[in-house]
Amino acid sequence: MTGVADILDWARQKVAARVPKADLDQRDPDYIRDQLPGLWLLASLYFRADVRGLDRIPAAGPVLLVGNHSGGNVPPDTFVFTLAFCSYFGVERPFYQLVHNLVALYPALRWLPSAGSKKPGPVAFSARRPAVGLPAAAY
């Protein structure tokens, strides 16, 4: 008889198989450049975003930026900060957003790899590229 642990292991394997592999070459600077104007309009009008302190980020080399959010699986703060980073440093500078596996599985967000979003892992770190991680607040 199959136990609960076996069922959970089977489910874990099925979910893990659906998570896209992290490929740093999927990031598309032209796609990001084309999306910036409309997304800035959304970020400015709907979220009233205000990002400050980008001048404190090193102009070159790897950097890990860590923040906190309570926005659920699709946090607007990650999108807004990515917009600010790409506008400030240019879309040619690689920048990656570390996302939870649930975000990577969401069908409506299949475009995220083109914008530089990756599931957590050592890929961006081993390549010594800038990345942002925003672990959810535990309320």
pLDDT tens sequence across 14-32: 877 776 666 677 788 898 8
| Helical H segments across 4-75, by residue range | 4-18, 29-45
CA atoms within 13 A on the CB side of 14: 6
Cα→Cα distances 92→49, 87, 130, Å: 23, 10, 12
The closest alpha carbon to 17, from 5, 26, 9, belongs to 9
Average pLDDT of the residues in 29-50: 85
Give me the mean pLDDT over the 75-79 stretch: 76
Q: Which pLDDT band holds residue 139 (cuts at 50, 70, 90)? A: very low
- Between helices 29-45 and 76-89, what is the axis angle to 10°? 120
Output 128 or 80, whichever has higher pLDDT.
80
Global pTM value: 0.67
The pair of structure tokens assigned to 103 is 């975000």
Q: Using an 8 Å Cβ cutoff, are 119 and 15 in contact?
A: no
Q: What is the DSSP letter of 69?
A: B
Q: What is the pLDDT of residue 90?
A: 92
pLDDT grade, residue 133 (50/70/90)?
A: low
Q: With contact defined as beta carbons under 8 Å apart, do 80 and 52 qualify?
A: no
Neighbours of 65 (CB within 10 A): 14
Answer whether residue 119 shows pLDDT above 60.
no
Amino acid at 136: A
The pLDDT confidence band at residue 137, using thresholds 50, 70 and 90, is: very low
pLDDT over 60 (residue 138): no
Average pLDDT value for residue range 96-123: 61
Picking from 91, 107, 104, the residue whose alpha carbon sits closest to that of residue 40 is 91
